[in-house]
Each structure stands twice: as structure tokens, then as C-alpha cells.
Amino acid sequence: MSEIKKLGEILKRKNIKISGAESCTGGMVAAEITSVDGISAVFNESFVTYSNDAKHRNLGVSEETLKKFGAVSEECAREMAEGAASRSGADIAFSVTGIAGPTGGTKEKPVGTVCFGVFFKGKTVTTTAHFKGGREDVRKSAVAFVIDMMISLVEQELG
């Protein structure tokens, strides 16, 4: 069973409502989720917030967070996931924000840097990963990473 089908089956079986917020992946995670048959029972909406303004307006990411840490930060990923959960009423919400390239990287945050957040059961877990390859490689790797992250967290919490 593919990882996305595994996640979908867990969410449907446990009636866990899901939402998400994506920046560098531009809706690719939502597209994967909606590939699961019957997922509409638990997936209502997701947010593609590519600009800082969209992150602030649609998800409530604070302007202070964006100024102090930047859009590519675990702090921003945390606020994105929590904002997606609160605005959608989801039980679990993911976020992805990063630099897919080929431009936009810095010494501190090189191309391939992606920050993730997952809100579940009142807690938010964040992490940062660094992926190799071109733009599409980074984006595809980020999608797979956040799906695996959600599976691990749900399995830990629910056994």
C-alpha cells in the first residue's frame, strides 16, 4: 500500500479530519490526499499560501514571525499548521514552506531547505529537512516527507 493510501485509510477509519497549508509545494500534498478514494469524508479544504501576505491573511501567521524568522522557518510552519487547523476545524493539519529553487537560497537557508509543521491532538511538531536535486525533486521529496511525518505522528498518538 502506498504511503498516501495508508494515511488516507487511517484518517477515514478513525474519522480524523485533515487540512493543510502549502507554500513551496503549491497544493501537491492536497493533490496526493485527494487521490485517495473516499477521502472527501475527512478532507474538506486546504490552503495554498505562497506569499507572506497570504500566509498572514489566510492562516494568521504573524507579521512579527515573518519578519523575525522568515517564511522558511519552523516558527512559520507552526503558525501555518495551527492556522489551517483553526480555520478549517480539522483534527490534523500539515504545513510545508521552503525554498524549492533554483533561486532564492541563501547561505543560512540554501535551496532545498523545507520546514514542516503538523498539528494533531492539540500539539504541533515542527522540523526542517534539506533535499537535493532540482525544483521538482525538492517539491516531490517534501510531499513524501510530510505524508510520512503525519503517518508517524498519528500512529504514535493512536497506537
Q: What percent of the chain has pLDDT over 90?
A: 97
User: 1 falls in which pLDDT band (50, 70, 90)?
Assistant: confident
Q: What is the CATH number of the domain that holds 117?
A: 3.90.950.20
Show the domain range for 48. Answer: 3-158
What is the tally of structural domains in the chain? Answer: 1
Q: Is the separation of the CB atoms in 126 and 73 below 8 Å? A: no
What is the pLDDT, as a whole number, of residue 103? 95
Sign of torsion over alpha carbons 1, 129, 82, 157: positive
Residue for cell digits 477515514? 12
**All 3 cell numbers of residue 2?**
502506498
| Segment 62-121, tens digit of pLDDT | 999 999 999 999 999 999 999 999 999 999 999 999 999 999 999 999 999 999 999 999
